[in-house]
Structure 1
Amino acid sequence: MSDIRALVLVCTLKPSPSESSSELIGRRVLERLEAHGATGEVVRVVDHDVRFGVSTDEGDGDEWPAIREKVLDADVLVLATPIWMGQPSSVAKMVLERLDAEISETDDEGRPLMYGKVAIVAVVGNEDGAHHSHAECFQALNDVGFTVPANGSTYWVGEAMQGTDYSEKSPEPEATAGTNDTAAANAVHLARLLQGAPYPAQG
């Protein structure tokens, strides 16, 4: 069967080499994707000069086009984001805004270029907001053409009003490890199905 390529976009607010729970969960999801036959890489978005905007290239040194090429090469996109004030991070929202340009980017059969690609979302944070963050991200990703697999979300949130981070939990919480694997297995399965049976031509 065809190789499946995965890309993890980490949407932490912290540049490298700062520790990031969002990157940790993204890497753990990638490990599970690789266990199911995929290969891939992790990109921490704030390590790159990505400009605000809704085009494929905002010019003047914008580094989104290089990241976009990785998205185009991938079969599975993992969006890994922290929760801030009950919301996905501003970096995650910037990524979604940049992906908005893909609505008008089509292949030779009129399909958006993101058709045939699978998206899963990994969320970490304290207290609450995981389901809301998933909903925001999935709605936007689906709008631009990504397909969401069954149980395509994974998350960890800590208890209310405490300061423990996901990166401080050792071993990894069993429930999160399980959802990491389920999301990864279903994403690879769906990506293979879409390779064999693409969406119909548009128009």
Structure 2
Amino acid sequence: MKAIILLATLKNKGRSNTETLAAFLGEYLTKQNIDFEIIKLANHNIIPGTYTHMDIKDDWPKIYNKILEAEILLFATPIWWNNHSSELQKCIERLDEVYDIILAGKDSPLDGKIGGVIVTGDSDGVEHITGNIANFFCSIGVTVPPYTSLGVIWEGHAKDSKKTKAQLLKYYRANYAEDAEAMSGSLKKAIKQ
């Protein structure tokens, strides 16, 4: 069983709250015997567009193939102005071709995949982003079971916060261990059904 986590932090290097939370959830995925790969989108060349293959070569087709090979697709994003990041938006737009396939009366290439959401922020927006992503997943054939979102709103995520990775993990373990366990368990259960 394999999960692909599309990590949509804007930081291509340095500490990222969202990357740390995704790795934290990964500990619980491993306990459920779910292998996972985190794909840090900021480290890849993904050009704007609405098709899998574009006239200009980029990294999206390889990422898309990894999505096709996995059973679980997780979007991990920080909140910027009450929305998901621009890195995630590029991926959503590139997945628009899946919706074209569905509109043409064919089965979605993503049918049977399970989706989930990981969100970090410092004030508000988790519900809005989770709802938008869940709606998008449902539109392209990805099933979103209950308890498959992990959203952490905390002032320690503020843009200029000096929290270390160790401090972030300590906070997540103290306050979100049950949520991460429930999410990983729900993902595994949904795959078995």
2:5 is matched with 8
Q: In the TM superposition, what is the alpha-carbon distance from 1:103 to its structure 2 partner?
A: 2.1
More helix by share: 2
Aligned-pair CA distance for 1:104: 3.5
Q: Which letter maps to 1:39?
A: D
Distance 1:91 1:134, change over 3 A: same
Alignment pair present for 1:158 and 2:154: yes
> Equivalent residue for 1:199?
none
Q: CA deviation at 1:170?
A: 4.6
Q: 1:119: Cα distance to partner?
A: 0.6
Q: The residue matched to 1:169 in structure 2 has which SS? A: helix
State yes or no: 1:186 paired with 2:186: yes
Residue 110 of structure 1 deviates from its aligned partner by 3.8
Q: What corresponds to 1:120 in structure 2?
A: 116
Return the alpha-carbon distance in structure 1 between the equivalents of residues 130 and 24 of structure 2: 18
Q: Residue type of the partner of 1:181? A: E
Q: Is the CA contact 1:102–1:144 (under 8 Å) kept in the aligned structure 2? A: yes
Describe how 1:131-150 pairs up with structure 2 within 5 A. 131-150=127-146
- Cα distance in 1 between the residues matched to 2:59 and 2:157: 37
Aligned to 1:51, what secondary structure does the other structure show? coil
SS at match of 2:124: coil
TM-score (ref. length: structure 2): 0.88
Q: Structure 1 CA distance, aligned partners of 2:157 and 2:138?
A: 33
RMSD: 2.1
Contact 1:119 / 1:147 at 8 angstroms: preserved in 2?
yes
What is the CA distance between 1:61 and its match in structure 2?
2.1
Given the superposition, is the C-alpha separation of residues 113 and 166 from structure 1 closer, same or farther in structure 2, using an over 3 Å criterion? farther
When residues 30 and 136 of structure 1 are mapped into structure 2, their CA distance, relative to the original with a 3 A threshold, is same
Please list, as runs of the form range in 1=range in 2, the aligned pairs for 1:25-104 lying within 5 A after superposition.
25-104=21-100
Which residue is equivalent to 1:196? none
Residue deviations 1:113-161, cap 9 Å, x none?
1110001100001111111111111111111110001111111111499
C-alpha contact (below 8 Å) 1:158/1:166 kept by paired residues: no
Inter-partner Cα distance in structure 2 for 1:166 and 1:32: 21
Q: Say which SS state the counterpart of residue 27 (structure 1) adopts.
A: helix
Residue 197 of structure 1 is matched in structure 2 by none
